[in-house]
Amino acid sequence: MNDQSIALTSSSIEDEPLHRTSELPIWFDNFANLAQAYEGRLNESDPVIEPNDLRLHLLTTLLGTPPSEAYYLVQGLARCREVEGDVCEFGVAQGETSALIANEIAGTDKTLHLFDSFEGLPAPSEKDRLLHDIFDLGNMEAYRGKMRCREGMVLERLRKISFPEHRYVIHKGFFDRILEGAENLPARVSFAYVDFDLYEPIKQVLEFLHPLTSPGAVIIVDDYGFFSSGVKTAVDEFIQDKNDREKVYEYMIPDTRYGHFIVLTKKG
C-alpha cells in the first residue's frame, strides 16, 4: 500500500483540502473492473476464460508484456486445456509471464517447461536487422548479452503463487545447447509462448515444436515485426514451409495496439 496521499483542493471550500488515500487499491479496483469486463466480452464469442482473482494481480505486475497481449495467452491456454501436451515458455526473463501461465494451468496436470539462457541474448545473425532500438544501443550486435535476468527471480515468482516444484522444469542455457543435452524435454506440447527475440533461436524453437504439437495446439510468438526483423522472418519462413502442400497452421496477427505478436494454431 502506498502511504502517500493526494490532496485535492477547491477554492469553493476555503482551501480546505480533500484527502484521497490508498491510491493503489483504488487503481487496482479500477483495473480489475476493466479486466473483468474485457473477459466478459471475450467470452461472448469464445466462452473459455474462467474467473480467477490471482490472474488480475499477476496482470498488474507484467513487464514487457501488456495486459492486452497477456489475454491472448490466457485465452490460448484456456483453449488448450483439453489438448494433449505440456506447456512451454521460451524466454522467461523475470518470470512474470511464467507466473501468469503457471496460474492458468494450476488446475490441470500439465507440466510447465521454462527455457532461458539466463545469460542474455545470443549473438544476432545476418537476418536480424534492428527495427526498434529499445535500449538506444545503436546496433544489433550491441544487444548481445543484454536482457539478462537471474534464474532466482523466476523461482521466486513461482513460489509466490505456490506453484508446485514438481510441476515445472527449468531448462537453462542457449536453446541449441539445450537440444544437444536433450534431458527432460516435453514429449507433447499443447501451448507455447515464444519470446526469444532473434532469428536463429526462433527458427530452432518452431522446428522443435512442430512434431511435438498436438492438433489444436497454440503457439504465440512475441515481437513479431518488432525489435529484430529476424523474428518475423523466422515465423514467415516456418509458416510458408509447413503450409506449402496443405494448411497445417492457421495464424492471426492482432492489431499492434494489442502488442507485437502472432498466434499460430495447429489444425486438427
Question: Is the pLDDT confidence value at 15 over 60?
Answer: no
Predicted local confidence at residue 22, as pLDDT? 58
Q: Worst-scoring range by mean pLDDT, 23-32, 52-61, 106-115, 223-232? A: 23-32
pLDDT in tens, 184-241: 999 999 999 999 999 999 999 999 999 999 999 999 999 999 999 999 999 999 999 9
What CA–CA distance (Å, rounded) separates 114 from 180? Answer: 17
Predicted local confidence at residue 1, as pLDDT? 39
Predicted local confidence at residue 24, as pLDDT? 61
Predicted local confidence at residue 16, as pLDDT? 45
Mean pLDDT of the residues in the chain: 89
Which of 156-164's residues contact partners 24+ apart within 8 Å by CB, and which partners?
A: 156/95, 157/94, 157/95, 157/96, 157/98, 157/99, 158/95, 158/98, 158/99, 158/102, 160/99, 161/54, 161/58, 161/99, 161/102, 161/103, 161/106, 163/99, 163/102, 163/103, 163/106, 163/112
Predicted local confidence at residue 36, as pLDDT? 87
Predicted local confidence at residue 264, as pLDDT? 98
What CA–CA distance (Å, rounded) separates 114 from 178? Answer: 12
Question: Is the pLDDT confidence value at 268 over 90?
Answer: no
Highest mean pLDDT pick, 5-14, 30-39, 184-193: 184-193
